[in-house]
Amino acid sequence: MTRDRIELLLSIADDELFLGWRNSEWTGIAPFLEEDVAFSSIAQNEIGHARALYELAAAELGTTADELAFDRKPEEYRCAPLVQLRRLEWARTIARHWLYETADEIRLAALKASDDPEIAGVAAKIDREEAYHRMHAEMWIDRLLASEEGRARLNEAMDELWPYALGVLDDELRPELRRRAQERLGRTLADVEPIPRGVHEAELAELWQEMTAVRRSAPAGSQW
């Protein structure tokens, strides 16, 4: 039970940490200034969610959120391959953003119904913030779908990321993601093998190097 609980918390926390990090790769170079600020702010929120989840796991493991976030080895992270991919071009970034937020909404709905009050509570809190991320993702999808070029680019990105998106969720939640994605795009998505959690893309180790560089440069127990 406890093992499963920690596994669950770390999976979601790692997703949020890596996605937050990946999205922040747009800081300073997003398509325009306003989007830069908004997308960076969303990235910071994701990292805030990661921290809340790490703290729950840390309380149980007798460690700290920072240690969980930065002191594990790359192969110990549980994040879905979808969030490991390095900064994608903009249509793919939006496709990943929408796919992740939609998968996350499905996952959070299940967690809010959890009989573990701590998990249900943190899921509800996260979901209240994610509502704004979804608004942001939805408006971009509408924007891309509104032009022929946008639609073509979005569809290409969705096809490419679809097996990754399925991998964010457990088996039983995947049909709901497919239903929502197909309805949103107005077309069928391929019947593909999901790229599941536990697969480590080469980009993960690379990002880990960058993400933990400051932490590793300081002696253990340093106070900031």
Contact 118, 56 (CB under 8 A): yes
139 contacts another protein (rule: CB under 8 A): yes
Query: Rounded to the nearest 5 degrees, what angle is found at the Cα of 84, between the Cα atoms of 83 and 89?
Result: 75
Please tell me the distance from the alpha carbon of residue 203 to that of residue 180, in angstroms, as a whole number: 28
Question: Applying CB under 8 A, which of residues 109, 113, 124, 135 lies at the interface with another protein?
Answer: 135
Binding window for another protein (CB under 8 A); candidates: 36-44, 104-112, 181-189, 206-214? 36-44
Question: Applying CB under 8 A, which of residues 86, 143, 187, 216 lies at the interface with another protein?
Answer: 143
Query: Rounded to the nearest 5 degrees, what angle is found at the Cα of 42, between the Cα atoms of 12 and 176?
Result: 50
Contact 61, 9 (CB under 8 A): no
Nearest-approach distance from CB 93 to another protein, in angstroms: 16
Contact 56, 19 (CB under 8 A): no
Question: Applying CB under 8 A, which of residues 5, 6, 27, 41 lies at the interface with another protein?
Answer: 41
Nearest-approach distance from CB 145 to another protein, in angstroms: 14
- Nearest residue (CB) to another protein, 47 versus 80: 47
User: How many CB atoms neighbour CB 65 within 10 A?
Assistant: 18
Q: Where are the beta strands (DSSP E) in the chain?
A: none
Nearest-approach distance from CB 35 to another protein, in angstroms: 7
35 contacts another protein (rule: CB under 8 A): yes
Question: Applying CB under 8 A, which of residues 2, 4, 32, 221 lies at the interface with another protein?
Answer: 32
Nearest-approach distance from CB 41 to another protein, in angstroms: 4
Question: Applying CB under 8 A, which of residues 22, 107, 136, 197 lies at the interface with another protein?
Answer: 136
Contact 166, 192 (CB under 8 A): yes
DSSP code, position 179? H
Q: Among 178, 194, 164, which residue's Cα sits nearest to residue 85?
A: 164
- Nearest residue (CB) to another protein, 42 versus 79: 42
Nearest-approach distance from CB 40 to another protein, in angstroms: 8
Nearest-approach distance from CB 153 to another protein, in angstroms: 17
132 contacts another protein (rule: CB under 8 A): yes
Please tell me the total number of residues recorded for the chain in this structure. Answer: 224
Q: Among 16, 66, 8, 79, which residue's Cα sits nearest to residue 46?
A: 16
Interacting residue ranges for another protein, rule: CB under 8 A: 32-35, 37-38, 41-42, 132, 135-136, 139, 143
